[in-house]
Structure 1
Amino acid sequence: MSEQRIIIEMGMGNDQYGMDYTKAASRAIEDAIRHSSLSIFASLDLSTDIMRVQVTIGVQEPDKVDIASLVSKLPRGHAEVRAVKGGLNVENPAGNTVVIASAAVEAFLPPQTGWTLRE
């Protein structure tokens, strides 16, 4: 086993007026991250530099997501972001479209000595 997932969090974000898929995705990532705490690093005196962070964003138009912008906002680890078809566009009778994004944020560590995660 080359890596072990230590956390997965889900989040939701939206852009109500601008149809900005990156803004909605960024808010979904922030929502997911707010639900997690990686105290394992301080507890085991590990550097977050060894962590790989994998983010999957679901939106209706994945090609409109600025991946590089999202990667630059992730606070720790080596980040990878990909956008896939998902989320939701909600048409407002007044004329605008609300963009809703979903995010899955996963963190992985290489196997550690001295302690193990259950398989």
Structure 2
Amino acid sequence: MQRFIIEMGMGNDLYGQDYTKAAARAVEDAIRHSSIPMFEALGLSHDEMEVRVTIGAQEPDKVDTGALAAKLPRGRVTVSAVKGGLNVTNPDSGNVTVIATAAVEAFLPKQ
């Protein structure tokens, strides 16, 4: 497989400390402006595409990778979560803002 695109994004959950919500927003940020016209131009099927998503979060075990994979519209998707992102504590309230990052990579068989 050969990587032909990588997009990066960031998302947060300001009040709920929901790592999956922050991760979903990071994935959305990464792909929101993406358009890959080569599939139509070259007659390729989206089924040939492998999509690998890596989420960075301070508590990766709290990211529902299956729920994130289900939200991606094309390709064969795998999602993994690793230690990364940020937790930022408001010193006045103690509230924790969860910030997640995402790298979305797309691969095709060598053409």
TM tier relative to shorter chain? over 0.9
| 1:45 aligned residue (38, 43, 46) | 43
Return the letter of the residue paired with 1:46.
Answer: L
**Could you say what the CA RMSD is over the residues aligned between the two structures, in angstroms?**
0.7
Aligned to 2:94: 95
TM-score, length of structure 1 as denominator length: 0.90
Number of equivalent positions: 110
Identity of aligned residues (%): 71
Quick check: 1:27 aligned with 2:28?
Answer: no
Give 1:35 deviation, angstroms.
3.2
- CA-to-partner distance for each residue in 1:71-101, whole Å, 9 max, x for gaps? 1001100000000000000001212100000
TM-score (norm 2): 0.96
Aligned-partner Cα distance in 1 for 2:83–2:20? 14
Structure 2 gaps, min length 5: none
* SS state at 1:81 partner: strand
Moved segments of 4+, more than 3 Å: none
C-alpha distance in 2 between matches for 1:77 and 1:48: 5
